[in-house]
Amino acid sequence: MFETTQVGSWPRSREMLRALRDRRLGKMSRKDFDRVANHEVRRTVTIQEEAGLDILVDGEHRRDNFYSFITEKVEGTRLMSLAEMLDEVEDKSGFEEMLTTLDVPASAIRNPTCVGRLERREPLALDDYHFVKSLTDKPVKITLPGPYLLSRSMWVGSYTRKAYGDQREMGDDVVRILREELQELAQAGCEFVQFDEPVLTEVVMSAECGRRTFM
């Protein structure tokens, strides 16, 4: 009862941020990147164990953000900063104004844009699960981006229309990919899988708040 856990991500160290940047720019090998990330995950697991949490997370250190990271794992995607996406947005001034009003740094926040048929190149989070489990006997929570968030954010018309007739068709592939991942995590014994759907609030609240957000 009253089991304690976190939602998922942990503050990144300077070393981790540098590794993420170097990896993104193709200046760091995966092996070197993993060495930095593994160290950070180990530290985060220790902190949680010492604090006494019941269900542990890996802190999402390897992820650029909680949904853009899939571009590392899924064929047919491209990591694009919101600044890059601005070129494709119809209402440019409206989009820019929204970013400013909402305090969103357009160059630092990136989107997983769908640019081709989606295919899982490697598991999204199964390896992360195995790594955390090698560090602790406690139950582990793995986070995945929710299907609705992906079906909205990945669709950038001018890029995605070349691969899919409409958003629902792309959504079917999102479902297939997330279902495969969930099945593999369940088979591996992962105790808790959490789907993140922050964009649901936008559907119902952005009108009331008089604005939409960027996701």
Partner 1 sequence: MGEELEYAAELINRIIEGVEGTRIGLHICRGNWSTREEVLLTGDYTSLLPALTAMRVRQFVLEYATPRAGDIKVVGESLSNNVPGTETPRELGLGVVNPRTTEVESPEDIVAKAEQALAFYGPDQIFLNTDCGFGCFANRCVNVEEVATAKIKSIVAAARFLRERYG
Within residues 24-83, the interface with partner 1 by CB under 8 A covers 47-48, 51-55, 59-60, 63-66
CB 129, min distance to partner 1, A = 10
Does position 90 bind partner 1 by CB under 8 A? no
Residue of 22, 37, 24, 20 lying closest to 128 (CA atoms): 37
Closest CA to 39 of 8, 66, 64, 62: 62
Which helix (H) or strand (E) covers residue 166, if one does? none
Q: Which is nearer to partner 1, 32 or 175 (CB)?
A: 175
Phi, psi of 89 (to 5 degrees): -80, 135
Span near partner 1 by CB under 8 A; candidates 28-36, 84-92, 117-125, 178-186: 178-186
Decide if residue 189 touches partner 1 (CB under 8 A): yes
Scan residues 102-161 and list those touching partner 1 (CB under 8 A): 102-105, 108-109, 141, 143, 146-148, 151
Kind plus residue range of the DSSP H or E element containing 186:
helix 167-188
In angstroms, give the least distance from the CB of 148 to partner 1.
Answer: 4
Interhelix angle 126-133/167-188, rounded to 10 degrees, is: 20
Q: Considering the complex, what minimum distance in angstroms separates the CB of residue 134 from partner 1? A: 19
Show the tokens assigned to 215. 């996701």
